[in-house]
A = this chain, B = another copy of it.
Amino acid sequence: MEGTKETEIPDSIRCEFEEKGGIVGIVESLPDDQTIGDIVSVARALSDPVRVRVIFALSVQPMCVCLIVAMTGYAYSKMSYHLSVLKEGGLVCARQEGNYLIYYLTDLGRRVTLWIG
* Residue positions of A touching B, CB distance < 8 A: 6-10, 12-13, 16-17, 20, 23, 26-27, 29-31, 33, 36-37, 39-40, 43-49, 52-53, 56-57, 60-64, 66-67, 70-71, 97-98, 100, 102, 115-117
Contact = CB atoms under 8 A, between A and B. Distances in A.
Given A7-B70, A12-B102, 17 more contacts: A7-B66, A9-B64, A10-B100, A12-B97, A13-B62, A17-B61, A26-B61, A27-B57, A30-B53, A30-B56, A39-B46, A39-B116, A40-B47, A43-B44, A43-B47, A44-B47, A115-B115
Contacts of A33: 49
- Copies of the protein in its oligomer: 2
Contact of A43 (B12, B26, B46): B46
